[in-house]
Structure 1
Amino acid sequence: MPRRTPRTVLDRLRTSRQLFGFLKTASVCVLVAGLLSPLTQTAVAAPGAAASNDYCGGQCSDILPPGQNGNATLAQILLNQAFGTQPSHAEDQLGPYAGLATGYPGLTDAKINTFFNDASFGVPSDQVASSEKPAGRGDVTIVRDKKTGVPHITGTTRYGTEFGAGYAAAEDRLWLMDVFRHVGRGRLTGFAGGAPANQGLEQQFYRSAPYTEAELQGQIDSAVAKSGARGQQALADVGAYLAGINAYIDASDSGRYFPGEYVLTGHKDAITNAGTIEHFKVTDLVALASVVGSLFGSGGGGEVSNAMSLLAAQQKYGVEEGTRVWESFRERNDPEAALTVHNGESFPYGAKPANAQGAALPDAGTVTEEPLVYDRTGSAATAAARNTSATAAKAITSSARRGMSNALVVSGAHTASGHPIAVFGPQTGYFAPQLLLLQEIQGPGISARGASFAGLSMYVELGRGQDYSWSATTSGQDIIDTYAVELCQDDYHYLYRGTCTAMDKAEQKNAWTPTVADGTAAGSYTMRVWRTKYGPVTYRATVGGKKVAYTTLRSSYLHEADSIIGFQMLNDPDYVKGPKDFQSAAQHINYTFNWFYADSQHTAYYNSGDNPVRASGVDAEFPVWAQPAYEWRNWDPAANTADYTPASAHPNSVDQDYYISWNNKQAKDYTTAPWADGSVHRGNLLDDRVRRLVAAGGVTRTKLVQAMADAGLTDLRAEDVLPKLLKVIGSAPVTDATVADAVNKLQAWLGAGAKRTETSAGSKSYANADAIRVLDAWWPLLVKAEFEPGLGSDLYTAFTANAPIDEAPSAGHGPTGSHAGSSFQYGWWSYVDKDIRAVLGEPVQGALAHTYCGGGSLTACRDSLVGTLKQAAGLTAAQVYPGDDQCSAGDQWCADSIAQRPLGGVKHGRISWQNRPTYQQVVEYTSHR
């Protein structure tokens, strides 16, 4: 049987047996006091009053699993590990969130808040659970509601309001905030232990943001200096917010109700209370922001991987034909792609130049990844021995990033009420505790409710104002370029504008020792990043025989704090009064996001990010020489600033009939999409459904939620590609019994809607389970059989490094990983769709350069599909779903299931698969100021 206890990101938090053993050694009175303290910190006080500044008319709702409470005392952690006991409000939003998967067909407007929270401002008098004056302040009150425990922060002064926001954030996410301020500095293992997961997490971010403390501070200074009065206000807000966090740290320390992970990782002593929890400072927030920006708001990159696959294509086909083949698979501006701005308006950016200049493609076989880790000792050396380094070709992956989805927004012209309706939210992954937290903030110049990243919640980042709501999806447009710096003197000097210049070395040493709850032996290692004016070194190679280092330059590097002004504006009721104000605020956000807006009269969209203006002739798909002629226009290397495309050049729109986004292409000619964004994309699942609703008219909140939920349970491959595959197979009689049975099951599944849904709520088994198993087994087999013979193994392998072939819910090999919820963002479904249509003789816009299935022969293609389908049908469930640390082999439902990945000591149960945002709003405003 597989090990059922999942390894946490902080793998020091061991099994219930070890923890329960520690429980027996601790003072019972201390543990009981630690358990009860958070529940008795605040007494229920005067009931909250309904807000008078709420124009949503009770029609705003939201949800954020697993729960608002992300802090747990030592006793609560031990009880959770030993008996599954959940702290109050730690898991109470998980059930309603999960329930929509089976409950959406019978949904009504009256039932929406069965699956969502009421997101109205204020707390009804009969729903007040507690009220407190943090640190005894008279200028701020934090009221928590009974249902969710969400903090509703009301201040009479700006300072008090932000102090309360910081205090509430620490109440709900102190440990998580502490973890990620260390992740952002590359210091997690020294703080939380040397488990391999911790090592991987700090290494992932240190390479892209190896900042010094001075550089972290400099980003605050720069953001404030260039933003005038708003910058000064932001700095004051941050100061008050930090004061609130630190006040909670002091109070929880003296009261002994701080998060129990501090004891389990050796920072505090459960008996004597010895040890400290470090206060937060302003640079901690910049470190946190760098993690968030890297995960969700930093598109582009992958130029070295692109170059390697182009070289592979040219080696097979010759330069001209190989380039044509490569471009057809790249799909950088596919005419069949689903668009967010679909009114025909063009927003040219990133197009292929007619005559590319400055390209610096590596010599074949010379690329090596720049080492990050050095000087391993102890358990670090042992871990390295167990996990041998991957080859450069394997290590160089595409620029695919976690999706931040999705959005469905319908104009009032097509709704039953005449008011716009929106169902939208970000997919930030499933964690315990969640990376986001909910809050309401009301104070001078601030009036908002919604979600914010823990530790950055001085403002609401995604949510609602008094009479408008906003949300985001990751847009991923290209703000990252790769430069080839020519080496001189040795491997650590390079030519910068004609002068041999020394690289700058950034280092971070991490050492760890075992603690009472940790089985990881002592160890240490050093992370080292070589930095140039053109960014950190990521790879080395030769170009035309010259030794080069490839560097990565992104426009948001050294500018992690700049977006604070945009969020400040979005929270300001005096600033945002309509769609144009919303777009103006979003223009101040330098991360790559698609932003959506709805009020009672209008809808709007804006694509944010500092898009650099590239030199004429530069093809951003490939590395270019680090020479002045190929630098960003007016680039200042000291500040990393340049000319950026104007706001009008970013995809934007007001009052389009509807908007959808699921990380799809933004607009016509906006050629910065990831690989394989073509004729079939998960955005089609939304676009098809919302287009039908709009055509019929009379859209309601219920109908739009149902469209989202239905799309979120549908297998993209089955709905949009499988019918064409079966059409090829059906071009001749099926005589093999095994194949005929599989075809019948697949057709029955298609007739039932091609969904991955439980037979009934809680059954943990799928309707059409055999058909789902067959397609899961068939897809990788058919893709390989369809394309590898024509491409050859080398080019096929190179293309799969750019675009993974599959990301089904159970595909642990996909970019998102197993049990992560988000599915069908990356895959070869567009390639298969275009190729099969070509075989069938159907029209294809943006066709692949060659026809691959069966070499273009319908008969040979059918034989290939029939052969692989028979092979797939013969595979058992145990072979298709081999099991992992959470699921037994053959458990199909479990393989798809979503796990709340522990980032601390409290664990939660799995839920059935849904492909939907982590945080989500349902809004329909009835009036406007």
Structure 2
Amino acid sequence: MPRRTPRNLLDRLRTPGRFPGFLKAASVCALIAALLSPLAQGTATAATASNDYCGGQCSDILPAGENGNATLAQILLNQAFGVEPAHAEDQLGPYANLATGASTLTDAKINTFFNDASFGVASDQVASTESPSGRTDVTIVRDKATGVPHITGTTRYGTEYGAGYAAAEDRLWLMDVFRHVGRGQLTTFAGGVAANQGLEQEFYRNAPYSEAELQSQIDNAVANNGARGQQALADANAYLAGINAYIDASDSGRYFPGEYVLTGHKDSITNAGTIDHFKITDLVALASVIGTLFGSGGGGEVNNAVSLLAAQEKYGVTEGTKVWESFRERNDAEAVLTVHNGESFPYGTKPTTAQGEALPDAGSVTTEPLVYDATGTGADQSADAASAAATATALSSAKRGMSNALVVSGKYTASGHPIAVFGPQTGYFAPQLLMLQEIQGPGISARGASFAGLSMYVELGRGQDYSWSATTSGQDIIDSYAVELCTDDYHYLFHGTCTAMDEIEQKNSWKPTTADGTAAGSYTMRVWKTKYGPVEYRATVGGKKVAYTTLRSSYMHEADSIIGFQMLNDPDYVKSPGTFQTAAQHINFTFNWFYADSQHTAYYNSGNNPVRASGVDPEFPVWGQAAYEWQNWDPTTNTSDYTPASAHPNSIDQDYYISWNNKQALNYTTASWGDGSVHRGNLLDDRVKKLVAAGGVTRSALVKAMSDASLTDLRAEDVLPDLLKVVNSSTVTDTTAAAAVTKLQTWLTAGGKRTETSAGSKTYANSDAIRILDAWWPLLVKAEFQPGLGDSLYTAFTNNLYIDETPSAAHGPTGSHAGSSFQYGWWSYVDKDIRSVLGQTVSGPLAEQYCGGGSLSACRDILISTLKTAAGTTAATVYPGDSLCSAGDQWCADSIVQRTLGGIKHYNISWQNRPTFQQVVEYTSHR
């Protein structure tokens, strides 16, 4: 039989019944036989861990399940009958059930909703034991409850070999997808539909690396880190050997992931075709994707400049600048802070007099094309096209919501030991981007989550007597430079010399398929690269033609962070808050890191923060000239001076820490708009602050606080009360508006949450009030601000910051069904403006008043008018439906979907705004 041609994974594998023709003749018996074909594994007894100081009080969860690989037969059974492979979604139910179970939670019930994250596996809980490739220096034990691999090695090489083998067992297809995404080659690998094209294009402009550049990153990371660098290289090679051993074993045993058949890489009958071995540069390609998703704060300087110019056009230069600064809120006095003890960490602050700014001429900015020479439609003609596009959106937008953390010092807990509930909100996918594992071997002792393909070390989790986690911090490590063009559009002045840009190309092509409507086609991605980074925009500045480039401090340094993760896994290195902070300093991605052991808590903000030239305002593009470069910047290595560790927000044993992608500390400016008076971080801060004030905090109490915040509508809790004060400043005589006010007030009294009437009901309590607010918010924001700002400036500001990010808001930055909500929105602007209208004290108010021009009665008229419109808007209009939900199904519109990146589907769950991977820890002792 001829080998099948590649087709789009994000289409073909999601539509039930759309299988290759030859499979329709296969018998059920044959499918079941194939399902059972993987090698049987015997059971053995695991030794009880003696290096675990958590006392049974460490827990974690990672939906949907550990098993992210499925054979072809398993995929077909899942698509046709909903049959799930073992451990594919067994963590989804407990995760989902916390939404309704948290109200009665006790410490004893925590592991009803989480996994026991103790080291080792009890002998009666061992599901299987294997020695990969017959090695005697490593075993992989999987537990009955979750199927998580517990890797124990007697040699360092064997330990890492086992980690690679286990990673391939659980995530081989996903790892393969992402090494191709990292090289901009997904369409060639998995088909040319629009969703695949969009995904590879999202990342390629940020990291258009050649193979030589990928290798040089490894060489430099090894050379610059002494013995640890050499150990990291040895670990990586052992890890790769384990991956490749599994590829070979699964190929000969014919139990490799079924996606390889469905995308034409393997033939299910003849077994023809190959699964390419992994090589060390693949790890850097993977790391570049993860770094771009979660650890690269900054950029946006050109968009900032466009909105500043619009503000100055509207109000004049002086007042327009004040208006812009008030909306930017780069150091808002009312912003919730992670380090809240008053300590200041200046970074990215506004200079007294800006130097070197290169603001574009109005209307001159154009985006640099990425795609050239496109042939074929590349269109997604499948019935599931919207879902495919939503998957790509959710993945590329996951970086915007990595969170959260709640950490309480032992002084305020019932036991006297610190408690932490924390984890990353990395989005929901099938299979999950992260995977769980335990690794025990020489110099490594950890359990937790790692990104698939980068799991040689645990990246977020626990050691023997400490746990750590991270949230995305978003401080600015990316700057935009205006390089003056010379000769033509592809030469620029560098230090006075006309220099040619480097032309970087990636050509992709795909074959026609028989089922998804995609024509054969090809296209080329082309990036023009300068010493100051890739070209992103073109414009004129004072009439001169320029290219705007993007320079990132972690560019060409994605491999460097491996040293920090190696340290975090090393029980002989991390023994205290200080050594934890030192380990985190070796991670050059922009993260907030949190730590807890039995005695202490700690926090550190990581990232290579460049030291900018004096007078440079990081909010705006500057000229590509030596005077405005990062201090001691070397364009050959892309290294410079970085701010010292002491200048990064850091703390030990603060009374408590919270983080939900909010501002880190006083005077520490993130690149994100919206760090103002209302931020979703307030939902955590308000709850944890009350717990700490009362004292006696327990694990279950902190989980409840997290869960309560995860179900709360931020607008309802922190903005709606003042909106209703304006509306009720006089008697509401309109019956429609009055009825809406009553419903909203009833919902507020009940807590302003988006919760089911009962577990599994799939309907919300106070559903009509929720519908009204969902419809009202975009109407009131536009009516409140657009008349005063004018169309151009209002549009420019909405390009800087979306007005809304509700769970069902498909128009928002994360898309629908993504879980993460309420990070981005105009809630702070509305809050400050409405409080100003009410005559309340506002620290850091907007420069102008907008609602009714500051008149209470005029503002009230605007709110009532838009409220009436919202109240009359049908559920079918507010929740228009998609490939998963019928129009008007409010619960479904909010629900979380595990977006398919492979062949297995999972059911959707009720909305919760919480981390994807999450730990609950309270250590009882210390080494």
What TM-score bracket applies, with the shorter chain setting the length? over 0.9
1:346-385 paired onto structure 2 within 5 Å: 346-380=344-378
**Equivalent of 2:505 in 492, 504, 507:** 507
> Structure 2: how far apart are the matches of 1:551 and 1:288?
24
> Structure 2: how far apart are the matches of 1:820 and 1:521?
30
> Structure 1: how far apart are the matches of 2:168 and 2:291?
21
Deviation at 1:870, TM superposition (A): 0.6
**Equivalent of 1:489 in 487, 490, 493:** 487
Question: What residue in structure 1 maps to residue 35 of structure 2?
Answer: 35
Deviation at 1:516, TM superposition (A): 6.2
Question: What residue in structure 2 maps to residue 4 of structure 1?
Answer: none
> Structure 2: how far apart are the matches of 1:295 and 1:644?
22
Question: What residue in structure 2 maps to residue 24 of structure 1?
Answer: 24
* 8 Å CA contact retained: 2:8, 2:193: no
1:726-763 CA distance string (max 9 Å, x none): 00111100101111110010000000000000000110
Deviation at 1:136, TM superposition (A): 0.3
Q: Secondary structure in 2 aligned to 1:343?
A: coil
Question: What residue in structure 2 maps to residue 10 of structure 1?
Answer: 10
Q: Percent identity?
A: 83
Equivalent position amino acid for 1:903 in 2: L
* 8 Å CA contact retained: 2:425, 2:917: yes
* 8 Å CA contact retained: 1:62, 1:922: yes
> Structure 2: how far apart are the matches of 1:649 and 1:365?
39
Equivalent position amino acid for 1:300 in 2: G
* 8 Å CA contact retained: 1:264, 1:515: no
* 8 Å CA contact retained: 2:8, 2:190: no
Question: What residue in structure 1 maps to residue 445 of structure 2?
Answer: 447
**Does residue 769 of structure 1 match 2:767?**
yes
**Does residue 583 of structure 1 match 2:581?**
yes
1:5-52 CA distance string (max 9 Å, x none): xx98622325322227542245877644431123x43222x2112200
Instruction: Sort the Cα spacing of 1:171 and 1:415 in 2 relative to 1 into closer, same or farther, 3 A.
Output: same
> Structure 2: how far apart are the matches of 1:162 and 1:375?
43
* 8 Å CA contact retained: 2:380, 2:516: no
Q: Secondary structure in 2 aligned to 1:459?
A: coil
Deviation at 1:644, TM superposition (A): 0.2
Question: What residue in structure 2 maps to residue 827 of structure 1?
Answer: 825
Q: Secondary structure in 1 aligned to 2:36?
A: helix
Deviation at 1:671, TM superposition (A): 1.6
Deviation at 1:775, TM superposition (A): 0.3
Q: Secondary structure in 2 aligned to 1:872?
A: helix
**Equivalent of 1:50 in 48, 51, 61:** 48
* 8 Å CA contact retained: 1:12, 1:193: no
**Equivalent of 1:457 in 427, 430, 455:** 455
Deviation at 1:110, TM superposition (A): 0.7
1:585-628 CA distance string (max 9 Å, x none): 00000000000000000000000000000000100000100000
Equivalent position amino acid for 1:43 in 2: G
> Structure 2: how far apart are the matches of 1:190 and 1:833?
49
Question: What residue in structure 1 maps to residue 218 of structure 2?
Answer: 220
> Structure 2: how far apart are the matches of 1:161 and 1:86?
30
1:214-240 CA distance string (max 9 Å, x none): 000000000010000000000000000
Question: What residue in structure 1 maps to residue 144 of structure 2?
Answer: 146
1:662-691 CA distance string (max 9 Å, x none): 000000000224112100000000000000
Equivalent position amino acid for 1:77 in 2: I
TM norm structure 1:
0.97
Question: What residue in structure 2 maps to residue 786 of structure 1?
Answer: 784
> Structure 2: how far apart are the matches of 1:227 and 1:403?
32
Equivalent position amino acid for 1:700 in 2: T
> Structure 1: how far apart are the matches of 2:875 and 2:32?
47
1:500-899 paired onto structure 2 within 5 Å: 500-515=498-513, 518-899=516-897
Q: Secondary structure in 2 aligned to 1:531?
A: strand
Question: What residue in structure 1 maps to residue 3 of structure 2?
Answer: none
1:287-332 CA distance string (max 9 Å, x none): 0000000000000000000000000000011101100000000000
Question: What residue in structure 1 maps to residue 416 of structure 2?
Answer: 418
> Structure 2: how far apart are the matches of 1:514 and 1:136?
42
> Structure 2: how far apart are the matches of 1:289 and 1:336?
36
> Structure 2: how far apart are the matches of 1:196 and 1:36?
36
Equivalent position amino acid for 2:498 in 1: C
Instruction: Sort the Cα spacing of 1:538 and 1:9 in 2 relative to 1 into closer, same or farther, 3 A.
Output: farther
Q: Secondary structure in 1 aligned to 2:10?
A: coil
* 8 Å CA contact retained: 1:432, 1:904: yes
* 8 Å CA contact retained: 2:69, 2:170: yes
**Equivalent of 1:115 in 107, 113, 116:** 113
Question: What residue in structure 2 maps to residue 62 of structure 1?
Answer: 60
Moved more, 685-694 or 667-676: 667-676
The answer for unaligned runs of 5 or more in structure 1 is 1-6, 388-394
The answer for unaligned runs of 5 or more in structure 2 is 1-6, 386-392
RMSD: 1.5
Q: Secondary structure in 2 aligned to 1:417?
A: coil
> Structure 2: how far apart are the matches of 1:10 and 1:673?
32
1:419-470 CA distance string (max 9 Å, x none): 0000000000000000000000000000000000000000000000000000
> Structure 2: how far apart are the matches of 1:480 and 1:686?
29
1:536-586 CA distance string (max 9 Å, x none): 000000000000000000000000000000000000000000100000000
1:151-550 paired onto structure 2 within 5 Å: 151-380=149-378, 401-515=399-513, 518-550=516-548
> Structure 1: how far apart are the matches of 2:107 and 2:534?
52
1:61-120 CA distance string (max 9 Å, x none): 000000000000000001111111111100000000000000000101111000000000
> Structure 2: how far apart are the matches of 1:280 and 1:401?
26
* 8 Å CA contact retained: 1:19, 1:81: no
Q: Secondary structure in 2 aligned to 1:105?
A: helix
> Structure 1: how far apart are the matches of 2:33 and 2:460?
36
* 8 Å CA contact retained: 1:301, 1:399: no
Instruction: Sort the Cα spacing of 1:422 and 1:462 in 2 relative to 1 into closer, same or farther, 3 A.
Output: same
Instruction: Sort the Cα spacing of 1:859 and 1:650 in 2 relative to 1 into closer, same or farther, 3 A.
Output: same
Q: Secondary structure in 2 aligned to 1:841?
A: coil
Equivalent position amino acid for 2:697 in 1: V
* 8 Å CA contact retained: 2:12, 2:18: no
* 8 Å CA contact retained: 1:299, 1:399: no
* 8 Å CA contact retained: 1:301, 1:478: yes
Equivalent position amino acid for 1:212 in 2: S
* 8 Å CA contact retained: 2:405, 2:423: yes
1:259-301 CA distance string (max 9 Å, x none): 0000000000000000000000000000000000000000000
Deviation at 1:382, TM superposition (A): 9.1
1:106-146 CA distance string (max 9 Å, x none): 10111100000000000011100000000000000000000
Equivalent pairs counted in the alignment come to: 909
**Equivalent of 1:126 in 124, 135, 147:** 124
* 8 Å CA contact retained: 1:264, 1:516: no
TM norm structure 2:
0.97
> Structure 1: how far apart are the matches of 2:13 and 2:755?
34
* 8 Å CA contact retained: 1:513, 1:523: yes
